[in-house]
Every structure is written in C-alpha cells, then in structure tokens.
Amino acid sequence: MSPDAPTPRPSSSHPVTSRPVTSLLVANRGEIARRIMRTARSMGITTVAVHSDADAGSPHVAEADLAVRLAGDAPGDTYLRHDLLLDAAARAGADAVHPGYGFLSESGEFARAVVAAGLVWVGPPADAIDAMGSKIGAKDMMRAAGVPTLPSITVDGDRPPDPGEVAALGWPLLVKASAGGGGRGMRIVESADALADALAGARREALSAFGDGTVFLERYITAPRHIEVQVLADAHGDVVALFERECSIQRRHQKIIEEAPSPVVGPELRARLSEAAVAAARAVGYVNAGTVEFVLDTGGAGGTGGGDPYFLEMNTRLQVEHPVTEEVTGLDLVRLQLLVAGGAALPTEVHDAVDRGPVGHAVEARLYAEDPSAGWLPSTGALDEFAVPTDRAGIRVDSGVETGGVVSPHYDPMLAKVIAHATTRAEAVAALTATLAGARIHGVTTNRDLLVRTLRHEAFGAGETDTGFLDRHGLDRLAAPLADEGAVGRHAVAAALAGQSARRDGARVLGTLPSGWRSNEVDRQEVTFDVGPRVVHVAYRMGRRGRDVAEVTLDGEVLDVTVGAASPDGVTVTAGGVTRRYGVQRVGAVTYVDGPDGSTRLVEEDRHPVAAEQVSEGSALAPMPGSVVRVAVVAGDRVEAGQVLVVLEAMKMEHAVHAGAPGTVAEVDVSAGDQVETGRLLVVVEPDAGPGDDAARNGAPT
C-alpha cells in the first residue's frame, strides 16, 4: 500500500543521485543480464556486459553495446571480483552498475565500492543490504518494527545449540543460512538425531555459496504458503507495495512456479501484507526495488483459506519472479530501478497501478537444466535446440540461452523463465502449460515435463498449493515424461523413418531407393533405440521402388500405422485414426522427437557393438562435473545402502553420492578439493554376497 504521506526514514550512506544513467554495466550474466539490457536500450542507455571465458559466446555478450572479458570460468575468479568489475566499468566508460540477482546483488561491500568509485549503484543503500543480509539481524529489526516473525535461535559457530532452546521451538525445525538465499544452506530437520549433520551441511554450503557459514534455527511450519510482496521506494521518502506473488511450488527450497496475484490472498490479507512490507522497507531506509517475503500458515497442506503471515526475509534486489508483477501492474520494474537510481521520485504511473490493483493473472515457470527424477541433478552440455513457442497471446520468454549454446557446470542451471498473462488464472495456466509442452529442448535434461504435469494437476488448478506440493503429490509421478508408452512407440517409428529418409542420397521425401533397400519386398530395415528405462525395436519393410512403407513392427508386433511425408527433420504418423506431425532432430546416435503427445530422446544402439570398458560392480561414479567438498568414508569402512560416500558441489548446490548396496569400501579415489568430470570413479564398494539389483549398485545423487 502506498502511505498517505512520506514519513522520516533512517539515515544511510546511500547518497541521493541527481544524474540520470547514460551507460550501464550489468554485473551479471544469462537471462537477467539480457532482461536488464533490454530495458536500458529502450531508454537510450549504452549497455556494457561482462563475461567469463565460459560465457564468451553467450547471448548477453552478443547483445550488449560493449563487452569486457573477466579472465577465468569460476564465479570466484570472475563475476564475484569487485576489482575486476569496477575496472571493467572504468574501461568501458560506464557511469552505473546494475547487479541483477545472485552474485554480488546483495553485497553491501560491493555497493559501497561502486559508489566510492563515483558510479551510480542501481540498488538499495549498502546499509539496507547489510541489515537485511543477515537474516538473524533482519528478524530482530522486523520484530522491533512490529512485523510478525517466527521464533528462532542462533547457532554460535560449531558449538551445538542448547537442547532446551531447541526443544522449545518444537519439531520439525528449519536450519537456515543467515546470509544469501536461493535455498542454499537450508535443511529441514525432523528429530534431534539428525540435527548435527544438518547443521554441518548447512554451514558448509552457506560458507561456499556466500562466504558466511552462520546459521540459525526456526520453527518450521509444515506445508506453508510462500508469499512475497514487491516494494518500491525512492530517495525522497515514498514507499509503495505492488501487491503479492505466490511462490509456493518449490524444489530444494527454491521456487520453480510463481504467480501474481496469489489465489488465496483477498483484500484484507493483501492490505496486511502490504502494510507489513512497507513497514519493513521503512525500518531499513530502503531505496529502489526489493521484496519482502512471508510464510503464510493456512493450517495445513493445500489450505485455501486465510492465515497468519510471518516475516521470512527481505531480498534487497530484483527477484527472478519479477515478471509476474510487471504483467499484472503494467510497470517495467527495471526502468523504475534506473529512474530511482538516477534520483527521480516514483512516477505517477506507480501510484496509478497501486490504486488500480492487479490486472488479470500472471504465472511464471522456471526452466532448469536438471533431472527431477534423479535428485534434481544438474545437466550440462550443448543445447542442440532451444525453442519455446511465443505465438500465443500473453506469452513472454526471458531466456539466457539459445540453440547451439552450452550449459556450463560453473553457474546456476536455469535456462529461461516462461511467463503467461491472461484475464483469468485458468487462462494463464492453460497458455503457460501449452507453451511449455510445445517447447523443443534438446541436448540437456530439463524439468519441463515436471512443470507441465504440475500445472495440469487438479490441486494446482484449484489453488491448493504449498511448499510441500511436489512431495505430497508424488514427485515420481509429476516428474514422469509426458510421453507415455504408446507415444514412445510412435516416436520410435518416427525416429526410424526419419533416419531412413536421412540416409537416402539427396532424397527429401520417401520415394527413391533408400539405403539398404532390396528388390525383394521381404527384406526389412531394423533399428533399436535405448529410451531410458526401456529398449524399443522398430522394423519396417519398404514397398516397391521405396514409395511407401509396407509394414511397421514395434517390438515384434505389427502396427496399424500409416507413415507419410517422411523427411530427415519430420514425419507424419497416423495411428488409431489420429494423424500426428513429429519434429525430428538427430545428433550423432541420439534422435529427439517432439510431438503433441510429448517428447522423447532415443539413442540408437550400434548394430555391431564393441566391448566397452567395464566399471567394477559397486563403483560410485560422479553424476556430474563438480568439486569434491567431503569424502565421508575411507577404505575398509562398512557401509549400508543409501549411506553417503562423497559430497560434490556443482552449480552452487551440494549433491550427495550414496552407496547403492551394503558392503565394504574397497577403494577411495578422490579427496576433498578435487575437481571431477562426469563418470569419474569416486569410491568402490565391494557389495555383500547375495541377490540384489545390480543396476542399483552404482552411487546415486540426492
């Protein structure tokens, strides 16, 4: 809510700038760098990109007016270096710095350095960043300002917390890093027995991600809703709240689907949330855009009634999910950030949007290169194709990648944000669902199918969401591929016929002599595909002169299908009276098939395989490139199935590799600090004798 009149605000070291921004260095990468530069260009501002060596060919670099190299790949050598960023600004002649989100966006030290260098800092005062950067200090400050908070206790260094104080909080508890965000350094603890390990893991992850291992404990509300309020403040004392966003669909405490407005927030609760958010901003002398986050206790899983909000934290930066607020208010938050940073008062359009209220409904989904069915394991590699359709009204795609790009192990695995805005929530959800389902993403594993299944779920449609949604409704079912067994069979047929077409000398349609064709009609073409958990065998016999497909069998069963207009990049298949057009892309031995019934990745098996090097039974291999942060066993240790062997860090998150079966550690091949590639041998466990699932003996990440 907009206050009736500006009230005195705490003093800060943030000077009121009186010059507009003319040349902007974006101290970030990927989709947020592109997003910021898009608005800056529209305002006539020169844009300056910085990039690591790994990002030299990234879209945000190509789209900038100027680009400055930061030698190296790791964030600690590039995007987190104050000195390199300020030197880049000086060399490029930039007069302002926008930090985006992540990296140094919530570093008070960096904000001070930017201002001390005579540059405009497009963000809040350094004092406000520091005040909210410590979640422990922020909670104390919010209590003093009358903002409701959850009970909590601070953990002092490595000393265990007082058992009596812990018991007073009640179980379950949430271990939380005092610095940073994004779900890093967070653990849910169900009992006292698990507390010590959770504290150690949270400290380690927080120290790696934020340089600060301080953690605290707070009461964990089971199945809360995660509600946040967008605030805007200028340097002249004006503070407004631009309504709420619902961010309850989360994995590993990180949001993946957000929407505005919340389906459970009515006028009375919206007023309470807005007043609390404005009070929080005023308490720290806030300037620029920020977000005040709350947990809403609705009394149980999927609750759709009202509830009590509790302050969670304040993010002193632009949020990943800011587009949904932009869509329902009609405001460009980056433009407003730049105006406020240049000393302008909040323009009239902001107050008009507050008076008008949210218009329509917006939903955002985050596309990640990760495998939900394998503990959210990040996926790296080349993007052979990245195409999200934008032909529907109200669809917006903010992406950091393009076809031909590479997903690096050095950074967060988010590929893009897809946003839909419509008159009603149901329309927005339907448009977003159809857009995601029609996306073609080849080369890396993604969470696309999980997002689509979640958006299609009847509980989501009814607004029955909370932070435990994925677990409650069965992650295994939600993460299942959209293509069912019938669709996979059709996709295998499409892949086989497209492959046959591609092998013809110069032919683009079925009708000339195909490779392997014989005058005897009984001769057949055969191909076998590995499709994840199953192997599919396709055989087809061409008619005379190769003008049509005389017969197709799938795993030995004759199919009643008609195949038409086959080409190397597409096939039309008619089955059961329904004709479907499939897009086909082949990259080496891998074929990607996309259609209205889902997408499938098919790996063609070599007809003349060569014996491959075998990995000994019981070996635990690195599931992704990363750094070894902890080795939990030594040779000779006895381990049980599921016991942690090694902990890796990749893409700013920890991933534990577990024993696949009980046995004895025969060999440990890595040490803490080692850099490993995918497939690197980590630990060999000699399994106990007896029956078991051989396929489960390799270590699996969580």
Question: Considering the domain boundaries, does residue 16 fall inside one?
Answer: no
At 515 the pLDDT is 40
State both tokens at 562: 């008609």
H/E stretch holding 138 reads helix 135-144
CA–CA distance, 170 with 109 (Å, rounded to integer): 37
Residue-wise burial string across 231-253, b where 16 or more C-beta atoms lie within 10 A, e elsewhere? bbbbbebbbbbbbbbbbbbbbeb
Put simply, whether the predicted model's pTM sits higher than 0.85 gets the answer no
Q: Which of 569, 604, 639 is the last residue of a domain?
A: 604
Question: Considering the domain boundaries, does residue 132 fall inside one?
Answer: no
Tell me the pairing of strands 377-378 and 239-251.
Answer: unpaired
Alpha helices (H) in 78-134, listed in sequence order: 82-92, 108-116, 126-133
Domains: count for the chain: 5
8 Å CB contact between 584 and 653 = no
Do residues 435 and 414 both lie within one domain? Answer: yes
Q: Across the 702 residues of the chain, what is the mean pLDDT of every consecutive 10-residue run? A: 40 59 98 98 98 97 98 95 98 98 95 98 96 84 89 80 86 84 80 88 80 84 92 97 97 94 95 95 96 86 71 94 98 98 97 98 97 91 95 97 93 96 98 98 97 98 94 94 94 88 48 39 78 91 62 89 78 90 92 96 75 58 84 92 86 78 90 85 84 40 40
8 Å CB contact between 432 and 448 = no
Structural domain of 674: 619-701
* CA distance readout (Å), 408 to 326, 400, 413, 468: 30, 12, 8, 30
CATH number for the domain including 659? 2.40.50.100
Q: Is the dihedral of CA 219, 657, 630, 194 positive or negative?
A: positive
CATH number for the domain including 83? 3.40.50.20
8 Å CB contact between 34 and 108 = no
8 Å CB contact between 21 and 341 = yes
At 15 the pLDDT is 54
Instruction: Classify 12 in phi/psi space as left (phi over 0), alpha (psi -120 to 50) or beta.
Output: beta
Please count the CA atoms within 13 angstroms of the CA of 74 that sit on its side-chain side. 11
Do residues 349 and 374 both lie within one domain? Answer: no
Q: Is 494 helix (H, G, I), strand (E, B) or coil?
A: helix
H/E stretch holding 279 reads helix 267-283
Do residues 41 and 65 both lie within one domain? Answer: yes
Q: What angle do CA 67, 71, 73 make, to 5 degrees?
A: 105
Q: Which of 604, 639, 672 is the last residue of a domain?
A: 604
Q: Which of 433, 457, 478 is the last residue of a domain?
A: 478
Question: Considering the domain boundaries, does residue 131 fall inside one?
Answer: no
Do residues 220 and 76 both lie within one domain? Answer: no
CATH number for the domain including 585? 3.30.700
Question: Considering the domain boundaries, does residue 42 fall inside one?
Answer: yes
CATH number for the domain including 464? 3.30.470.20
Do residues 439 and 581 both lie within one domain? Answer: no
Q: Is the dihedral of CA 60, 61, 62, 67 positive or negative?
A: positive
Do residues 416 and 448 both lie within one domain? Answer: yes
State both tokens at 575: 């089955």
Question: Considering the domain boundaries, does residue 511 fall inside one?
Answer: yes
| Cβ neighbour number for residue 523 with a 10 Å cutoff | 11
At 614 the pLDDT is 47
Count of residues for the chain? 702
Q: Is 280 helix (H, G, I), strand (E, B) or coil?
A: helix
Question: Considering the domain boundaries, does residue 130 fall inside one?
Answer: no
Question: Considering the domain boundaries, does residue 582 fall inside one?
Answer: yes
* CA distance readout (Å), 24 to 52, 101, 365, 402: 18, 16, 28, 24
At 6 the pLDDT is 39
Do residues 464 and 543 both lie within one domain? Answer: no
At 396 the pLDDT is 98
Do residues 369 and 468 both lie within one domain? Answer: yes
* CA distance readout (Å), 191 to 158, 172, 330, 518, 654: 19, 7, 47, 70, 22
CA–CA distance, 652 with 630 (Å, rounded to integer): 15
Do residues 502 and 454 both lie within one domain? Answer: no
At 610 the pLDDT is 45
Question: Considering the domain boundaries, does residue 420 fall inside one?
Answer: yes
Do residues 548 and 407 both lie within one domain? Answer: no
Within 400-497, strands assigned E span: 406-407, 414-422, 440-442
State both tokens at 116: 């001390």
| Cβ neighbour number for residue 513 with a 10 Å cutoff | 14
CA–CA distance, 436 with 400 (Å, rounded to integer): 16
Do residues 199 and 253 both lie within one domain? Answer: yes
Do residues 164 and 306 both lie within one domain? Answer: yes
